[in-house]
Structure formats: C-alpha cells, structure tokens
Amino acid sequence: MSPFPREDYRELKRYHFDRTPVALDLSDNTNQWGTHPAALEVLRRADDDALARYPDLYADNLRAAAAARAGVAEECIATGCGSDDVLDCTYRASGGGSGDFVSIAAPTFSMATPLARMNGMRARLTPWAEALDDPERLLSGDPALVYVCRPNNPTGHVAPRAWIDALLDAAGENGPLVLLDEAYVDFGGDPLATHAAEHPRLLVSRTLSKAFGLAGLRVGYAVAAPPTVLEVEKARGPYKVGRLSAQAGAAALADEEGWVSRTVAECVANRARAEETLAARGLEPLPSSANFILFRAPSGDGPRDALAIRARGVAVRPFPGDMPDGGDALRLTVAPWPLVERFFEALDAYTAER
C-alpha cells in the first residue's frame, strides 16, 4: 500500500498568515494605488459569452503583450497563473529526483522554500552576505536550480549586475538554471529580461500582482530563451491563465495611459520620504529598490510589535531575525502618503506607550 500523502510531503503546511480584517493593510506589498484601470475596463466590457469557451492554450495575447513590455520575442515568454505558478513550473522542470535541491539566497520570498518541498526537492539557504561575497557558494553541491530575487523581498536590495554575471559564468552552459525573480523590478534595479532571452541558463520571472495592481487576477510571466520556455510550458500545461485574466493582463501591460509609470514614480518618492522618517526614529531602514521597506522592530520583538501596531489599525509584516545583524525586522508596504502617515501615527502611538 502506498501511504497518502507522500513521505516528503507531510511536513508541508498550508500557507497561512493573519488575515483578520484590519483598517489598513500594508503587509503584503500589493498595490496601494489600486487596480490598473485598463484591466478594469476589459472586465467591465466582457460580453455575454466571454467565458463559455476555453481560453487560448498558452495565452497568446498575454504573451504578445508581455513580450512587447519586456522587449523580447514572443517565443521567449511563458505565462502563468500568477508568478508563483511560473516559479512552480520552473522548479518542476528543474528537478524532483531524490537528493535534488534548490539553492536560495536568503532571506527571501516566503514561497521559495515551500515550492522546493512541493516539487520533491529540498531547499538550501545561503545567507545573502555569504552569497554576495562569492556567488559560487550558491552552486556548491550541484543544485538543481538557483533562486535569486532581485530586488530582493524582504530586504529591498539589488544584487549587483556584475555579481549576476559571475554567477551565470560559474554556472556555465551545463550548470543549473538561475531563476531571477523580478517581481519588484518596476520599482528599481536594472531589468535583465533581454539578457534572459539570450542566455541558456537564465530565467526571469515577473508578476502583475505588484506594480500593475492586479494581485486578484493571478497573472505572471517568465522571460527566457525559447528552449527554456518550452520546458517550463510543458511543466505548466494548457489553459492556465483564464480568458479574461489574459485579456485584462494584456491591456494593463500595454499601459497606454501610463498608469504604472505615474504610480511607481509616486511610490518611489514616498519610499524615500518613509525611509527618512524611519531613520529619524532610529529604526535603521534598509535602502530599498522595491515598494516596501524593511526596518528594525522597535522593541526587538518583531511579532509583538506587528501585533501592537495592528491593534492600532495598521498591518505590517514581521520578519524575525532578518535584520543584517540577526535582529527582528518589520516590513512596510509603501502607499499614498496619507496612508503612510496613518502607519506612522500607529507606530508613534505604540512606541510612546511602551
């Protein structure tokens, strides 16, 4: 008899964090400026038989829009149901045999490790300081895949371009694929999509959940050389992105009215202002190239601080142990300034009472 579930699956947990309602949620890096208007327009205009038929096998219209946005050919794009799906399929195409592992520069995106387990692999975490010191550390022991987030969630830093090149050189033509997660690239850092289209060992993943304000739509894509795209699409299967999701996502990617550039510019300005305001309180914000800021938990106990600030109406996310010196951190999603002010009011009320 084969037991259910499979042995290496048992310790996996369902994704969970506090979702009890809060007046202002600045904890998950979604777009605080709202939903992309071009996507909303597509959804409003859906006609009577918009959903009776299956969508395109591989979302050709979305693919074309992503290719135009990234500046690459359509054969260099794979789409997915959120970039989590793109990551999942990339993991699945990379490994799964016993002993396979994904090499991860950490701390990073919370799904990087569980996705390895889901796909029958282990995760090996290398602290960012060590990885930045020598990229070859990520390659030791022959990983099935290397995961690097750039700009990195939750620290906000951008691994230098020369470091990425050194990592790719060390991986060589026959080494593991390097999965570069560019979920936040619209907010800072140099995009490497055109490089990925030509490189046999680089795949860049992107999402419409952040700068494009479409987290509820679940659309993401990958940019890679055509042979890599083919393998990822095999792991993905057909009909993944819904018909309206593909249409709305394509309209947002075209961004004809410049909604993304406008809101991103405001976000970047508010990020600088919030960094200064945190620094003035001695909270050591890490310089960020994304739409969030990681800073020191005021009491040293991140989960406790997050709960206390939440009790005052604003959710931020705790990251225990993720300050560079191992101290607890909190992560704030950057928002329109009146919302950021509400966060500072809650923070100040809490720290005044302590």
Ligand X SMILES: *Cc1c(COP(=O)(O)O)cnc(C)c1O
List contacts with ligand X (CB under 6 A).
Answer: 29, 82-84, 109, 149, 153, 181, 183, 207, 209-210, 215, 220
CB of 20 to ligand X, least distance (A): 21
C-alpha span between 124 and 40 (Å, rounded): 41
Least separation in angstroms between residue 301's CB and ligand X is 24
Nearer of residues 179 and 346 to ligand X, judged by Cβ? 179
Q: Which is nearer to ligand X, 155 or 207 (CB)?
A: 207
Tell me the C-alpha to C-alpha distance, in Å, between residue 237 and each of 77, 93, 263, 287. 14, 12, 34, 39
Query: Alpha-carbon distance 177 to 86, whole Å?
Result: 14
User: 145 or 149, CB closer to ligand X?
Assistant: 149
Smallest distance from ligand X to CB 181, Å: 5
- Residues 33, 221: Cα–Cα separation, whole Å: 22
Q: Which residue from 132, 115, 125, 138 is spatially nearest to 9, judged by alpha carbons? A: 115
- Strands 177-181 and 202-207 come out as parallel
Per-residue DSSP letters for 292-308? EEEEE-TTS-HHHHHHH
Nearest distance from C-beta of residue 160 to ligand X, angstroms: 18
Shortest distance, position 14 Cβ to ligand X, whole Å = 16
- Tell me the C-alpha distance between 36 and 42, whole Å: 10
Instruction: Report the residue number, 123 or 349, with the smaller CB distance to ligand X.
Output: 123
Of the pair 92, 312, the CB lying nearest ligand X is at 92
Residue nearest to ligand X according to CB distances in the complex: 82
